[in-house]
Chain A
């Protein structure tokens, strides 16, 4: 998509992937951070990790298996929380442990059987060796995220405000919440190859936290978070290639730096010194 502007294919693909992953994850990040569901990032990333391990174990496409397993875990979060009367965060913890156990079990077993499995790409990501199809899939999930937020903006804003009040108002809370979980699962599973399971958290939480320091309303947060993520990712990709640095950790560090700066400069925290 950016080929006419960037001659180098590797740089071009890395930039495109980071842009799509940044936009999708940061928009979803605004929702999940407000709902105190930030741990969904590592649960989903480890579910995708376990799915990839299952795919490799069954000698099937690891990416497809990662998406399928993440969706299965996403489908469990809501009903398990409801049935067990647990906070979604506790359910996420249980599913995170289960996913990690499945992944470690299969990786160890495959090593024992003499079938090596390199987990480093899934854990740390590899933004410079991507297939076109992976970028198209990310672009699609990025569009899906934007369409979801635009189409269900009022329902999403109501459940972000207060789930019980939204439910009492007659909003179809469960339906929208389950759809949200599915989209998060899809985004995380598809971003896993790029940013890795360990750093996906940065794209989900940090841009939303930066936007929260300055934005007074939800609409501006939905605009500011992806803009911040996109700008920092683009700078990270450029600096990574220019100075031969690992791109994703660089983006993570840059975003954390911007967050620290935003906390210091946030006018939302300013205390009025007026005496009248």
Chain B
């Protein structure tokens, strides 16, 4: 059984006259590395937020980790990592990187339960994996955009997710950091965790089998396996075919 199973889903925002996602079906299995591309307003972020229940699905069915998203959205979110697209933490934010990474585990801990030894160990592992040990005790608001982005990736790795979704996770990172973190994601895929990554820049993708999904107008227009080197070209071609770039 697939980890993610979307069947004919529609998603609309209040006040919008058209659905953002239309009759979309997608199945993702364990260990898949899915890159989602396409023009702006294609529905890429909405697709990710439909998968973890942050956006309501109006028609169709969505099953993630064996759970019906419409009924168990809270539980689904404890099992799905999601690095959001835009965030800003002001310099007076009273949380260290370590505390923010620990917050990734709060959902799965449940209401009122305190973190135990295992949670602290998971946080340390995530911090080490992303390579931000030197930032662990720094206030997150005082870090650069790229460092904050790394902290948010660690926050989601600490959750020990069954699915990892990232929305333009490398937009603030230099090439070396991108390559390093792509290596981290490759390692997650190797352990069986499927990755769904929305991106606009495709340099530094890992040299593994990549499933490329191109979206346009709320629908999937291309869904095939390819190599890292082919991604950029296919997306450009697909955008041209569909009249948007």
Residues of B within 8 A of A167 (CB): 54, 77
The yes or no answer to B107 lying at the interface (CB within 8 A) is yes
Mark the stretch among B24-32, B96-104, B187-195, B211-219 that contacts chain A: B96-104
Complex contact A161–B100 (CB within 8 A): yes
Q: How far is the CB of B163 from chain A (nearest CB, A)?
A: 12
Complex contact A152–B112 (CB within 8 A): yes
Q: How far is the CB of A227 from chain B (nearest CB, A)?
A: 16
Mark the stretch among B86-94, B124-132, B200-208 that contacts chain A: B86-94
The yes or no answer to B239 lying at the interface (CB within 8 A) is no
Complex contact B92–A168 (CB within 8 A): no
Distance of A175 Cα from B107 Cα, bound (Å): 13
Residues of B within 8 A of A158 (CB): 103, 106
Convert B66-81 into 0s and 1s, putting 1 for each residue whose CB lies closer than 8 angstroms to a CB of A.
Answer: 0000000011111100
Complex contact B78–A170 (CB within 8 A): yes
Known contacts A154-B114, A164-B84; A268/B106 CB under 8 A = no
Residues of A within 8 A of B107 (CB): 169-171
Convert A137-170 into 0s and 1s, putting 1 for each residue whose CB lies closer than 8 angstroms to a CB of B.
Answer: 0000000000000011011011001101111111
The yes or no answer to B159 lying at the interface (CB within 8 A) is yes
Complex contact B87–A155 (CB within 8 A): no
Residues of B within 8 A of A155 (CB): 106, 111
Q: How far is the CB of A82 from chain B (nearest CB, A)?
A: 10
Distance of A160 Cα from B1 Cα, bound (Å): 38
- Give the contact-size bracket for chain A: 20 to 34
Distance of A217 Cα from B187 Cα, bound (Å): 33
The yes or no answer to B17 lying at the interface (CB within 8 A) is no
Complex contact A168–B82 (CB within 8 A): yes
Complex contact A162–B87 (CB within 8 A): yes
Q: Which of B210-232 contact A (CB under 8 A)?
A: none
Complex contact A165–B84 (CB within 8 A): yes
The yes or no answer to A172 lying at the interface (CB within 8 A) is yes
Distance of A68 Cα from B10 Cα, bound (Å): 41
Number of B residues with CB within 8 Å of any CB on chain A: 36
Complex contact B54–A221 (CB within 8 A): no
Distance of A166 Cα from B155 Cα, bound (Å): 11
The yes or no answer to A235 lying at the interface (CB within 8 A) is no
Complex contact B92–A268 (CB within 8 A): yes
Residues of B within 8 A of A165 (CB): 84, 87, 103, 152, 155
Residues of B within 8 A of A172 (CB): 74, 111
The yes or no answer to A218 lying at the interface (CB within 8 A) is yes
Distance of A169 Cα from B99 Cα, bound (Å): 14
| CB closest residue in chain A, given B48 | A168
Distance of A217 Cα from B98 Cα, bound (Å): 12
Convert A66-94 into 0s and 1s, putting 1 for each residue whose CB lies closer than 8 angstroms to a CB of B.
Answer: 00000000000000000001000000000
Residues of A within 8 A of B152 (CB): 165
Residues of A within 8 A of B15 (CB): 85
The yes or no answer to A131 lying at the interface (CB within 8 A) is no
Residues of B within 8 A of A268 (CB): 92
Complex contact A216–B78 (CB within 8 A): no
Known contacts A85-B14, A154-B106, A161-B103; A168/B94 CB under 8 A = no
Residues of A within 8 A of B76 (CB): 170
Complex contact A217–B111 (CB within 8 A): no
Q: How far is the CB of A72 from chain B (nearest CB, A)?
A: 25
Residues of B within 8 A of A161 (CB): 89, 93, 95, 100, 103
Distance of A158 Cα from B89 Cα, bound (Å): 13
Residues of B within 8 A of A34 (CB): 94
Q: How far is the CB of A32 from chain B (nearest CB, A)?
A: 14
Q: How far is the CB of B156 from chain A (nearest CB, A)?
A: 8
Distance of A157 Cα from B103 Cα, bound (Å): 8
Which of A154, A212, A215 is within 8 Å of B115, CB to CB? A154
Q: How far is the CB of A275 from chain B (nearest CB, A)?
A: 20
Q: Which of B127-154 contact A (CB under 8 A)?
A: 139, 152
Distance of A131 Cα from B135 Cα, bound (Å): 53
Complex contact A166–B106 (CB within 8 A): yes
Which of A85, A169, A216 is within 8 Å of B139, CB to CB? A216
Complex contact A157–B14 (CB within 8 A): no
| CB closest residue in chain B, given A162 | B87
Residues of B within 8 A of A151 (CB): 112
Convert A197-232 into 0s and 1s, putting 1 for each residue whose CB lies closer than 8 angstroms to a CB of B.
Answer: 000000000000000100111100100000000000
The yes or no answer to B7 lying at the interface (CB within 8 A) is no
Residues of B within 8 A of A215 (CB): 94
Complex contact A154–B109 (CB within 8 A): yes
A-B contact pairs, 12 of them (CB 8 A): A85-B14, A152-B111, A154-B103, A154-B115, A155-B106, A157-B99, A161-B100, A166-B103, A168-B52, A169-B159, A170-B106, A171-B107
By Cβ-Cβ distance, the 8 closest A-B pairs, closest first, are A170-B107, A170-B78, A170-B77, A169-B107, A168-B82, A218-B94, A158-B103, A171-B106
